[in-house]
C-alpha cells in the first residue's frame, strides 16, 4: 500500500515537472515571438517613414521642375548647381518628417546619349575611360551590333552567336540601350569602364540613354565638352554662361554641337543620410497649355536591411515605364 502511494507521488512529480517544462518552453517562445514582432513593427515603421520622406522629396522636386517660369534657359552655376529660372536651386539636403535626405536634380541633356553618339565621339569617350586601344574598335562595332535590329556581325562586332556561346548565355538586345548599365553586357566592355577604378575614370556620369540626343550648352560639363573636341573653348563657354546666367541663344560657331539652351529630361536622386537608402528616377517634362506635364521614364529604389546591423542593400525594384504623374 505504502509502495503504491510512493509510485503515485513519483508519477505526479514527473507530471508537474513535465508541465513546468512545457510552460517554460511556451513562455520563451512567446517572449521571442513578441520581441521579433516588435522588431518587425519597428523596422516596418522606419522603412515606411523613409519611403514616404523620399516620395515627398520626389514630389517636391517634380513640382519645382514643372513650375519653371523661364522655358528658354536652364543652366549650371559655378558651384555646379542647376538653375531652372530665377528661383534658388532645389535644396541639396532637406529634412522630411525628421529624416534627413540628400537630393540631387541632374540634367540628363547635359550628357552624351550613348545610343546616338557617332564613332569619333564614342572613340573619345572610351579613351577618356582609358580603354585599351585594341579594345576600342571591338566595343564600337559590338555596340552598333547590339543596337541594330539585324544579326549581321560587323568585322570586330558581336551578334547572337557570340553571346549564346558564353558560359551564361544571353541574346543581344537588337534595340537601343534602355539604361547605361546595359553596356556591361556588350562584348569586351568591362564594368570598370562604366563605374571607374583606381586605374581609370568611369563614364557613367557622362552618358545617358534618355532624351533625344540634344545637348544643353548651359549644363554640359567640361569633360563632355572635351570629348566633343572643345578642349580650348570649354573654359570660355563655362565662364560666359556663368556671367550670362545661361546663354539664351547658342553662339553661331557652336550650333553644330549644341541644339538647346534648356532641358526637358532630368534625373532625381534622393538618398537617406543614415542608411544610404536611395531612390533614383528619370522624368521628362512636356510643355502643356499651363506649365508642363511630367512623365516618369525610370524608377529604382535601393533598399537597406538593418536587422543584421551590417547594412546591406540591393535594388528593390528596377523599372522603366511611361506614365504621367
Ligand atoms: Ca528654365
Ligand atoms: Ca544586331
Cα distances (Å, whole numbers) of residue 179 to 60, 139, 297, 302: 25, 17, 11, 16
189 and 215 part of one domain? no
106 and 125 part of one domain? no
Which of 30, 164, 135 shows the shortest CA–CA distance to 143?
135
86 and 155 part of one domain? no
Q: What is residue 218's DSSP assignment?
A: T
Task: Please tell me the number of the ligand nearest to residue 163's CA.
Answer: 2
224 and 307 part of one domain? yes
User: pLDDT for 249-299, tens place per residue?
Assistant: 999 999 999 999 999 999 999 999 988 899 999 999 998 888 899 999 999
**323: CA distance to ligand 1 center in Å?**
23
Task: Please tell me the number of the ligand nearest to residue 292's CA.
Answer: 1
Look at residues 152, 177, 205 and tell me which one is the last residue of a structural domain: 205
267 and 195 part of one domain? no
Helix (H) or strand (E) holding 35: helix 2-66
Contact 283, 266 (CB under 8 A): yes
The band of 323, judged by pLDDT with boundaries at 50, 70 and 90, is very low
93 and 238 part of one domain? yes
Dihedral sign for Cα atoms in the order 39, 278, 147, 204: negative
Cell numbers standing for residue 114: 550613348
**182: CA distance to ligand 1 center in Å?**
31
User: pLDDT for 225-249, tens place per residue?
Assistant: 999 999 888 999 999 999 999 999 9
User: pLDDT for 54-104, tens place per residue?
Assistant: 999 999 999 999 999 999 999 999 899 999 999 999 999 999 999 999 999
197 and 225 part of one domain? no
| Alpha helices for 108-247 (secondary structure H) | 119-128, 133-147, 160-163, 191-195, 222-227, 233-244
**138: CA distance to ligand 2 center in Å?**
14
131 and 277 part of one domain? no
Look at residues 155, 188, 205 and tell me which one is the last residue of a structural domain: 205
141 and 242 part of one domain? no
**How much is the pLDDT for 1?**
55
**How much is the pLDDT for 25?**
75
Domain of 152, in residue numbers: 116-205
**252: CA distance to ligand 1 center in Å?**
21
103 and 177 part of one domain? no
**168: CA distance to ligand 1 center in Å?**
47
CATH number at residue 178: 1.10.40.60
36 and 71 part of one domain? yes
**11: CA distance to ligand 1 center in Å?**
88
What is 263-320 written as a DSSP string? -SEEEEEEEETTT--EEEEEEEEEE-SSSEEEEEEEEEEEEEE-TTSS-EEEEEEEEE
92 and 225 part of one domain? yes
Number of domains in the chain: 2
Instruction: Mark the residues whose beta carbon lies below 5 A from ion ligand 2.
Output: 145, 148, 174
Look at residues 166, 188, 205 and tell me which one is the last residue of a structural domain: 205
Amino acid at each position: 500500500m505504502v509502495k503504491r502511494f510512493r509510485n503515485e507521488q513519483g508519477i505526479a512529480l514527473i507530471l508537474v515537472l513535465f508541465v513546468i517544462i512545457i510552460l517554460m518552453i511556451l513562455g520563451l517562445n512567446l517572449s521571442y515571438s513578441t520581441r521579433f514582432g516588435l522588431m518587425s513593427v519597428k523596422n516596418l515603421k522606419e522603412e515606411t517613414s523613409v519611403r514616404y520622406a523620399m516620395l515627398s522629396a520626389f514630389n517636391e522636386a517634380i513640382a519645382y521642375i514643372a513650375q519653371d517660369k523661364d522655358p528658354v534657359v536652364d543652366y549650371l552655376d559655378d558651384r555646379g548647381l542647376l538653375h531652372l529660372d530665377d528661383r534658388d536651386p532645389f535644396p541639396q539636403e532637406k529634412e522630411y518628417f525628421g529624416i534627413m535626405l540628400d537630393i540631387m536634380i541632374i540634367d540628363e541633356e547635359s550628357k552624351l546619349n550613348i545610343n546616338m553618339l557617332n564613332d569619333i565621339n564614342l572613340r573619345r569617350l572610351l579613351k577618356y575611360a582609358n580603354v585599351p586601344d585594341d579594345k576600342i574598335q571591338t566595343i564600337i562595332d559590338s555596340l552598333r551590333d547590339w543596337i541594330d535590329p539585324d544579326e549581321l556581325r560587323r568585322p570586330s562586332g558581336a551578334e547572337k552567336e557570340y553571346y549564346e556561346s558564353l558560359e551564361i548565355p544571353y541574346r543581344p538586345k537588337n534595340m537601343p540601350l534602355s539604361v547605361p548599365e546595359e553596356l556591361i553586357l556588350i562584348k569586351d566592355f568591362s564594368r570598370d569602364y562604366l563605374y571607374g577604378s583606381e586605374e581609370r575614370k568611369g563614364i557613367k556620369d557622362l552618358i545617358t540613354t534618355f532624351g533625344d540626343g540634344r545637348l544643353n550648352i548651359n549644363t554640359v560639363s567640361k569633360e563632355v565638352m572635351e570629348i566633343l573636341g572643345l578642349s580650348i573653348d570649354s573654359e570660355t563657354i563655362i565662364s560666359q554662361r556663368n556671367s550670362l546666367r545661361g546663354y539664351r541663344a547658342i553662339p553661331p560657331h557652336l550650333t553644330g554641337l549644341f541644339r538647346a539652351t534648356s532641358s526637358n529630361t532630368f534625373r532625381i536622386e534622393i538618398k537617406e543620410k543614415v542608411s544610404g537608402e536611395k531612390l533614383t528616377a528619370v522624368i521628362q517634362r512636356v510643355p502643356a497649355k499651363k506649365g508642363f506635364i511630367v512623365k516618369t521614364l525610370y524608377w529604382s529604389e535601393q533598399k537597406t536591411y538593418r536587422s543584421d546591423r551590417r547594412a546591406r542593400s540591393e535594388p528593390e525594384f528596377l523599372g522603366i515605364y511611361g506614365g504621367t504623374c
